[in-house]
Amino acid sequence: MAPSVAVENLNPKVLKCEYAVRGEIVIHAQRLQQQLQTQPGSLPFDEILYCNIGNPQSLGQKPVTFFREVLALCDHPSLLEKEETKSLFSADAISRAKEILAAIPGRATGAYSHSQGIKGLRDAIAAGIASRDGFPANADDIFVTDGASPGVHMMMQLLLRDEKDGILCPIPQYPLYSASIALHGGTLVPYYLDEKTGWGLEISDLKKQLEDARSKGIDVRALVVINPGNPTGQVLAEDNQCDIVRFCKNEGLVLLADEVYQENIYVDDKKFNSFKKIARSIGYGEDDLPLVSFQSVSKGYYGECGKRGGYMEITGFSAPVREQVYKIASVNLCSNITGQILASLVMNPPKVGDESYAAYKAEKDGILQSLARRAKIHLPQKAIEAAKAANKAPDAFYALRLLESTGIVVVPGSGFGQVPGTWHIRCTILPQEEKIPAVITRFKAFHEAFMAEYRD
């Protein structure tokens, strides 16, 4: 009898998901990975290390103290009855933990919550959104999730019926979207960020890609916009956002706004505007545009990837459609309470006057400044010239050399947008913890050799 479970009889969507990771460096990395399998020993390393997703705490970034104080008190509330606690925890962490516990029925941080998340925490998140945007937000619109990814999967599961349903996605993009679209059996309709408009979304290109897809019989359901685009600073201009909002309304598209990098802006003259704020600013209400905003505790200065917290704010969906979203959420019962608490904290951090404020502000600024510094590489002029000769952007040249020498996959900043004359790589660590020391060692050795080779 044939084996009951073999690659040949698995869900083909799962198998297909493998081919959904895009971008020049990643595709080159996959080629090298194949080479390693067919010709072991043919490269100066024996495995590929994908460092293209962000994991700051694994690289030594410390969590924000206030957040962790509150989590510890909520995990073990009997600490609140002890005298020693006052000397171990800040006063506002103690009062915040008490507020949160009071918002949870039975103070039960170990109970399943409402499938959208604990109501009191959603109230806090909605208040944080309203204060950020200057427009009202409603706790009933908030679905607290285990990070942004499950929210994205839920929307793909909701919208995609078969391969004739498409989602407009930016290229290059974080592989979450391509993977999720593949897993749910839809079609990724790519659009390209335009360097000439400061890596804005050129509406004419969006329109072209949309019409192209429609001419092939694809029913395009939604547009994914990632804004800010990544930690190196691509922030859409307000005008561009207005055009995107109008485009979605006119074309009948759901706007899926990935806004997880809302705190990662390193340029003084740029400002984050949520798509909901933009839509409301131009007078669009609930009936004009189905809009989902994703936020995560993993990004920004919080960097709490392992806590798996986040939310999606859903507006402009009819009640029956929203019920279907609720049903999908309820099949997984609820997101983890620790992540729910963190999501409420990142949207309502300490304020001026709170005991923790000074320490919180110092930690936040330190992390953001350090991220901004680390986002840049100072490349010698010779390396820039060598890159030019190879017809590559200098950071792409660096990234390709890094990959070929070490197997480490990073994303060049030129694929994301950067201030002219500065070069960036997005270098992060995938969750294969036992490999982290090797990454650091190999990366350091490569960088030293590269800088020596191209010393001015």
Q: Is 374 in the site for its own copies (CB under 8 A)?
A: no
Single out the residue of 200, 211, 201, 161 nearest to residue 181, CA to CA.
161
Strands 411-412 and 423-426: antiparallel
Per CB under 8 A, the list member of 30, 138, 281, 336 interacting with its own copies is 336
Per CB under 8 A, the list member of 228, 339, 349, 394 interacting with its own copies is 339
* Residue nearer to its own copies on the CB measure, 299 or 424: 299
Backbone angles phi, psi at 371, to 5 degrees: -60, -40
Distance of closest approach, residue 3 Cβ to its own copies, in angstroms = 7
| Region near its own copies per CB under 8 A, out of 51-59, 192-200, 350-358, 419-427 | 51-59
Q: Is 56 in the site for its own copies (CB under 8 A)?
A: yes
* Binding residues among 181-240 for its own copies as defined by CB under 8 A: 183-184, 219, 221
- Over the window 245 to 264, marking each residue x when it contacts its own copies by CB under 8 A and - when it does not, the resulting string is -------xxx----------
Residue 337: alpha-carbon gap to chain centroid: 20
Distance of closest approach, residue 43 Cβ to its own copies, in angstroms = 21
* Binding residues among 66-95 for its own copies as defined by CB under 8 A: 68-69, 71-73, 75-76, 78-79, 82, 84-85, 87-88
Q: Is 12 in the site for its own copies (CB under 8 A)?
A: yes
Distance of closest approach, residue 219 Cβ to its own copies, in angstroms = 8
Residues 159 and 220: their CA atoms lie apart, in Å, by 10
* Residue nearer to its own copies on the CB measure, 42 or 318: 318
Q: Is 55 in the site for its own copies (CB under 8 A)?
A: yes
- What is the dihedral sign for C-alpha 69, 70, 72, 76? positive
Distance of closest approach, residue 84 Cβ to its own copies, in angstroms = 4
Distance of closest approach, residue 221 Cβ to its own copies, in angstroms = 7
Residue given tokens 């990544």 in the structure block: 230
Q: Is 424 in the site for its own copies (CB under 8 A)?
A: no
In the three-class reduction of DSSP (H, G, I as helix; E, B as strand; rest coil), residue 9 is classed as helix
Q: Is 440 in the site for its own copies (CB under 8 A)?
A: no
CB 100 within 8 A of CB 70: yes
Tokens standing for residue 216: 């092939």
Distance of closest approach, residue 60 Cβ to its own copies, in angstroms = 6
* Binding residues among 15-44 for its own copies as defined by CB under 8 A: 15, 17-18
Residues 154 and 170: their CA atoms lie apart, in Å, by 19
Q: Is 290 in the site for its own copies (CB under 8 A)?
A: yes
Tokens standing for residue 240: 């561009």
Q: Exposed e or buried b for every residue in 214-242, given b needs 16+ CB within 10 A?
A: eeeebbbbbbbbbbbbbbbbbbbeeebbb
Q: Is 337 in the site for its own copies (CB under 8 A)?
A: yes
In the three-class reduction of DSSP (H, G, I as helix; E, B as strand; rest coil), residue 31 is classed as helix
Distance of closest approach, residue 222 Cβ to its own copies, in angstroms = 8
Single out the residue of 298, 381, 386 nearest to residue 343, CA to CA.
298
Distance of closest approach, residue 422 Cβ to its own copies, in angstroms = 28
Q: Exposed e or buried b for every residue in 312-345, given b needs 16+ CB within 10 A?
A: bbbbbbeeeebeebeebbeeeebbbbbbbbbbbb
Per CB under 8 A, the list member of 25, 49, 144, 160 interacting with its own copies is 160
- Partners of 220 in beta bridges: 166
Tokens standing for residue 312: 């999606």
* Binding residues among 136-155 for its own copies as defined by CB under 8 A: 146-147, 149-150, 153
* Residue nearer to its own copies on the CB measure, 64 or 129: 64
Give me the amino acid identity at 412: P
